[in-house]
Structure 1
Amino acid sequence: MNSEKITKAVLFASSFVILLIAGGMIFSLAEGAIPAIKSFGIKFIWTNDWNPTKGQENYGALPFIAGTILTSVVAILISLPLSFSASLFLGEYFHGTRLAKILGTMVDLLAGIPSIVYGLWGFYVLRPLLISLGLPNQGFGIFTASIILAIMIIPYATSLSTEIITMVPGELKEAAYSLGATRTEVIFSVIVPSARSGIVAGYILSFGRALGETMAVTMLIGNANRIPESLFGTGNTMASVIANQFGEADGLKLSSLIAVGLLLFLITGLINSLGKFIIKKME
């Protein structure tokens, strides 16, 4: 067997293993969620009651779906202008300079910090700051969790966008400059259109990370099993309710938490698929 056939076989085996892992995850989650699905059916998705009382058990995922979507959307809206500006600064305005290298290293460092560290910082620094500004609910809530999520994904989105921006061919920019275009015109007429699909992909990946974030959100969201009444209200996300209650759960409650995990898996997959569709349309 020559080297080309060996390489092809290894690549095929690796891809097949990934498919097996993904299939195994879906199967195991679906198997664990069967008791909850049998008990509550499709209404599990839009029921907002979460009652673990024996003999009166009733579970629904709507409060956690709402909390997850709300915190992630607010986080991406906060992070988008900041990370986009930072990526232009690093990838275009000061690309190749010592300052850009130092800041780029710091961005990569921040992107690798464990989420629990962000959670601790949010609890001991961000929360007291927001309380001093008059934030209700003792500094806990959707808004606080969204801010810490935004801070977490800004380095991630910035790093990805910077890499895409630096990959725009120099010939395109030089041609625009030779025609008399200004720096601003080159950025928004040449660089952004050329890097658009990659930048969007970076934000979709960042949004996916925000959806599944657990510990930082758990420490700041308030952990209330209800649909958030406002941005300043307390709530729960799909990941945080699993982290809080999985260790002590059994029976139908355990199955319901697994069903929540399955829903999170499917929602994340749906968003990634939607993102790929949007990127193809933009190419």
Structure 2
Amino acid sequence: MAHMDATLGASPSGQLAHKPTGRISDPIFVGLLWASGLFVLVLLGLIIAMLFHGGLPALKEFGAAFLWSTSWNPVTEKFGAGVMVFGTLFSAIIAVIVALPLSFGIAFFLTEIAPMKLRRPIGVAVQLLAAIPSIIYGMWGFFIVVPLIAAYIQPPLIEWLGPLPVIGALFQGPPLGAGMLTAGLILALMILPFITAMFVEVLESVPPMIKESAYGVGATTYEVYRNVSVPYGRTAMVGAVMLGLGRALGETMAVTFVIGNATRMSASLFAPGSTIASTIANEFPEAPMGSLKLQALLQLGFILFVISFIVLALSRLLVRSKLKS
């Protein structure tokens, strides 16, 4: 019997002689998954800690007024983030205002109107826009867009809209070309493919039966788009817009080329300005290690992170509200 048991234990199937390897590999696999997930949190935490700790001396030096002060003078070492925060939000809002209707139009054209022969080439062209490096956008904006705006766009707008009582403040100033409007237009072109791609995915996910039912009761193409397609995917569309806004908030090189890089605040769309990212890109190489200027730049980076986090939180709240409604 003992010989028979030994023979059975050494059978070719190995079911009695060998322990299943899954019992060993599964804990290792689960541990690697935990490590991968925690790595993201640890890395994010280290970045936040570095920015906060590095910029804390500047916050202690200038207090809470650092957040809204418009002074940025490296000579007198008086620093404030007000101009940069304003420029970051202003240019990003312009970009979203310009890119949103264009994205809606392109996405609906590709999903409903365009012939099949044109859908793929136009779709590929939109995707190629996302692949262009930001510095190329900046160079193109500096050499092409800025002169065109200064020569053909800003002069008539200043003449026609500048004297108006309320909105005239947005269209006043010399036609320099570089400024908030130009930066917003370049940013709009950069976030356009991201928003459009998500809109296309959302519109293609609408069940054809719902749209065919709307057409069957006499709805026009516009009515189907407004009352069927957009309501069906509005939750994902809100997320797409917020994704584009977050992309615009953190853009650096393209904005640096075309915004004018002036540390002063103006309500005019044509006035030069600066963003948090462009200021860091311009002045970080010239900031001595341990200087108050470097600490102020690190604090600017922390403020940009906080703004991006707020935008993400708002997008989550909007998505949840849309889901509940």
Which TM-score band applies after superposition, normalised by the shorter structure? over 0.9
Seen in structure 2, the aligned counterparts of structure 1 residues 280 and 177 have a Cα distance that, compared at 3 Å, is: same
Give distance in 2, aligned partners of 1:175 and 1:25: 52
Q: Secondary structure at the match of 2:264?
A: coil
| Residue pairs, 1:78-97, within 5 angstroms | 78-94=98-114, 97=116
Q: Which has the larger radius of gyration?
A: 2
In structure 2, the partner of 1:264 is: 304
Point out the more displaced range, 41-50 or 86-95: 86-95
Give distance in 2, aligned partners of 1:14 and 1:98: 43
The yes-or-no answer on 1:228 pairing with 2:228 is no
Seen in structure 2, the aligned counterparts of structure 1 residues 191 and 225 have a Cα distance that, compared at 3 Å, is: same
In structure 2, the partner of 1:48 is: 70
Seen in structure 2, the aligned counterparts of structure 1 residues 137 and 222 have a Cα distance that, compared at 3 Å, is: farther
In structure 2, the partner of 1:172 is: 210
In structure 2, the partner of 1:65 is: 85
Point out the more displaced range, 85-94 or 268-277: 85-94
Q: Which whole-Å deviations, capped at 9, do the CAs of 1:100-145 have from their partners, x for residues lacking one? A: 1110011001111111111111111111111212633531111111
- Offset of residue 81 of structure 1: 0.9
Q: Which whole-Å deviations, capped at 9, do the CAs of 1:159-193 have from their partners, x for residues lacking one? A: 11111111112222223233333322221111110
Seen in structure 2, the aligned counterparts of structure 1 residues 94 and 5 have a Cα distance that, compared at 3 Å, is: farther
Unpaired stretches in structure 2, ≥5 consecutive residues: 1-21, 155-173
Q: Secondary structure at the match of 2:176?
A: helix
Seen in structure 2, the aligned counterparts of structure 1 residues 162 and 6 have a Cα distance that, compared at 3 Å, is: farther
Q: Which whole-Å deviations, capped at 9, do the CAs of 1:228-266 have from their partners, x for residues lacking one? A: 241111110000000000001020000000000000001
Give distance in 2, aligned partners of 1:181 and 1:217: 43
In structure 1, the partner of 2:318 is: 278
User: What amino acid is the match of 2:194?
Assistant: Y
Question: 1:92·1:165 contact (CA, 8 Å) conserved in 2?
Answer: no
Give distance in 2, aligned partners of 1:132 and 1:86: 29
The yes-or-no answer on 1:188 pairing with 2:226 is yes
User: What amino acid is the match of 1:252?
Assistant: L
Question: 1:65·1:237 contact (CA, 8 Å) conserved in 2?
Answer: yes
- Offset of residue 93 of structure 1: 2.5
Question: 1:66·1:228 contact (CA, 8 Å) conserved in 2?
Answer: no
Q: Which whole-Å deviations, capped at 9, do the CAs of 1:181-221 have from their partners, x for residues lacking one? A: 33222211111101111111111100111111111110111
User: What amino acid is the match of 2:129?
Assistant: L
* TM-score normalized with structure 2 length: 0.82
- Offset of residue 79 of structure 1: 1.1
Question: 2:260·2:273 contact (CA, 8 Å) conserved in 1?
Answer: yes
Unpaired stretches in structure 1, ≥5 consecutive residues: none
Percent identity of the aligned residues? 43
In structure 2, the partner of 1:242 is: 280
- Offset of residue 9 of structure 1: 3.7
Q: Give the number of equivalent residue pairs.
A: 280
